[in-house]
Copies of this chain bind each other. A is one copy, B any other.
Amino acid sequence: MMQGRKLSDYKNDENVQTYAVLKQVELRKTNAGKPYLAVVLEDSSMELAGMKWEITEEEAQTFQAGMVVAVSGMRQTYRDKPQLKIFEIRPTRIDEPQNPNDFMPHGPMKADEMEAEVNRLFLKILNPKWQRIVRYLLAKYHDEFYRYPAAKTNHHAFAGGLGYHTISIARLADQVANLYSSVDRSLLLAGALLHDLGKVIELSGPVATKYTRSGNLIGHIVLIDEQIVLAAQELKLDLFDEDLILLRHVVLAHHGQLEYGSPVQPLVREANVLHQLDELDANMQSFDQVLNQTEPGDFATRNWALDNRAVYRPEHDKN
């Protein structure tokens, strides 16, 4: 029945018929008290808000965030934003797509490509203590690392975003170590590979991502520090050996300033570089995301992840 077109393939006022995953589901009421279903649909091409008018509460309860649905409707514009007026919506059948992961946006690399690249970069860590801890923790959280997003919203908020963001930074780190001989490549790469790994505890997972209780109450920076400490105990490494202190410092300081959630400021070169590369990669990803929705020659709407700037897409930008 479905033609396999993606959500972003439809134009305004065109009839839509496709599969998508439900990112959010809410039963609301109109001013007049009538129930309707407000959803956010998502496939690998985009997110799209949708409204299903005239629905009973029983029908509505069928739907939950994370479910794959078959949906038909008409794409419209409401307050400058696209939305879908839904005619019909139902969970997919047994012979239709059912794996939400197939409908979620993915980064430009597949999981196995990412793993190969992480391994390549990992081999450049020469210090055996850092090597052992990084290997231990990448193994412990192997599956989550390549499936989780790097954020709930904002930059790298796609399945596999955590691995992809980590690789981007580790590649930059490798180049920086080439250009500055005073940088300890091993420490910088170890920090780069671990710095955001606490997100596999902070976030609930790749589908319908939320912050977990420990994510909110402890935060991914301390969560990964705790894991390093437990790993060191497990591997019988001295917690107060300088190498262990340095690795924890580099990871703890990677937000750069106390007001961004790091309990310490970067006090060694590698901590400073890691923080700056983290910012650079996050900004690049935000620019790409924002400008992809902006016409050449136009200014984008203000974006929170870019310090509320209204950034510009040049006319000759062909990305």
Binding site for B on A (CB under 8 A): 28-33, 51, 53, 74, 76-79, 85, 168, 171-172, 175-176, 179-184, 213-214, 216-219, 221-222, 225-226, 229-230, 233, 239-240, 242, 245-246, 248-249, 252, 258-269, 272-273, 276-277, 279-280, 283-284, 287-288, 291, 297, 299, 307, 309-312, 314-317, 319
Evaluate contact between A217 and B78: CB separation under 8 angstroms. Answer: no
Q: For the complex, what is the distance from the CA of A268 to the CA of B242, rounded to whole Å?
A: 35
Evaluate contact between A182 and B222: CB separation under 8 angstroms. Answer: no
Evaluate contact between B283 and A272: CB separation under 8 angstroms. Answer: yes
Chain B residues within 8 Å of A221, by CB: 263
Nearest Cβ on chain B to A128's Cβ, whole angstroms: 13
Take A76-B29, A218-B249 as given contacts and tell me if A309 and B265 are in contact as well, using a CB distance cutoff of 8 Å.
yes
Q: For the complex, what is the distance from the CA of A218 to the CA of B249, rounded to whole Å?
A: 6
Residue of B nearest to A283 (CB): B272
Residue of B nearest to A73 (CB): B33
Take A180-B284, A246-B314, A260-B258 as given contacts and tell me if A267 and B217 are in contact as well, using a CB distance cutoff of 8 Å.
yes
Question: 4 tightest A-B contacts by CB?
Answer: A217-B249, A175-B175, A182-B319, A267-B312
Take A182-B287, A279-B276 as given contacts and tell me if A213 and B245 are in contact as well, using a CB distance cutoff of 8 Å.
yes
**Interchain CB contact (< 8 A) of A267 among B180, B309, B319:** B309
What are 24 A-B contacts defined by CB distance under 8 Å?
Answer: A168-B179, A182-B291, A182-B317, A182-B319, A183-B284, A213-B245, A217-B245, A217-B312, A222-B264, A226-B229, A233-B233, A246-B314, A258-B259, A258-B260, A259-B259, A261-B263, A262-B263, A265-B307, A266-B309, A267-B309, A267-B312, A269-B287, A269-B291, A273-B280
